[in-house]
Amino acid sequence: MKRAMKRAAPFLIGAATVVWAVAGQNPRITRATLRAIEESFDKRVLTVSPDSPFKLLGTTRGTYLNGYGVVFTAEVNLMVTTNLSPFQLEIPKPYVVKVHAQKLQRLTLFKRSMQEALLAAAASLDTVPANEQVVLGVSLFYYKWEDTAGLPSQVVMHAQRQKLVDVQVGRVNRSALDSVIQIEEL
């Protein structure tokens, strides 16, 4: 029995080494880590403009895509507005114009906030390989009566984690953030 165990030991050790090595290649992104970033982004959305907060319509969800990176998604209304109802069957034209102008203004603020969120996420995601991406995609909500000219329905920001960390720790100037983060508006 002892002899059999002695013979099997090298194989067992080898197998354990292989399993450990394979497991070691995959970054271990825990749900807790993702949840912390999700909550952080939600809090940022809710508090970035205290006087007139952004409306969170879908809390942030993060997913790790093996070999690609981490993707966070959320749904936001750029401002709280009224909507049609049995008591208000028509939205006045001046209100539509006002909401459109305000949303255009607030979009810049929101995108800046997204960039900050992306930087913060990159710093927290230390188990993600440096060459992988950190993505933040936000769907913007509009009512049917709204004028959406010049307003995107989705803003997607992504950057390599290493580059984000470089900006975060100061290895790269913060003014280069716009070139580090790629922004796509759909």
Partner 1 sequence: MSCSPFDLRDYLFGELAENERRQVDLHLRSCGGCHEDFDRLRVTHASLMSLRDEELPQRIGFVSDKIFEPSPVRRAWQALWGSSGRLGFASATMLSAALVVFTFFRPVAPVLPAADNARIEAAVAKRVGAAVAQAVSESEQRQSRKTAELLTAAEHRYQKQQQYVEQLAESISVLEKESNVRETLLARSDLGASR
Question: Which residues are near partner 1 by CB under 8 A?
Answer: 39, 42, 55-59, 75, 77, 83-85, 141, 143-144
Distance CA 161, CA 174 (A): 15
Provide the greatest CA pair distance for the chain. Answer: 89
Q: Where are the alpha helices (DSSP H) in the chain?
A: 2-25, 31-47, 93-124, 161-169, 177-180
- Closest separation in Å from C-beta 75 to partner 1: 7
Q: How far, in Å, CA of 18 to CA of 156, rounded? A: 38
What minimum distance in Å lies between the beta carbon of 69 and partner 1?
24
Pick between residue 59 and residue 63 the one whose CB is nearest to partner 1: 59
Kindly tell me which of 85 and 108 has the beta carbon lying closer to partner 1. Answer: 85
> Which of 56, 71 has the CB closer to partner 1?
56
Report the nearest approach of partner 1 to the CB of residue 128 (Å). 23
Closest separation between CB of residue 45 and partner 1, Å? 10
Minimal distance, residue 121 CB to partner 1, in Å: 17
Q: Name, in order, each residue with C-beta under 8 angstroms of 74's C-beta and a sequence gap of 6 or more.
A: 41, 42, 45, 56, 58, 59, 60, 61, 136, 137, 138, 139
Residues 6+ apart with CB under 8 A from 142: 77, 148, 151, 153
Nearer to partner 1, 155 or 180 (CB): 155
- Of 55 and 100, the one with the shorter C-beta distance to partner 1 is 55
Residues with Cβ within 8 Å of 143's Cβ and at least 6 positions away in sequence, in order, are: 81, 83, 84
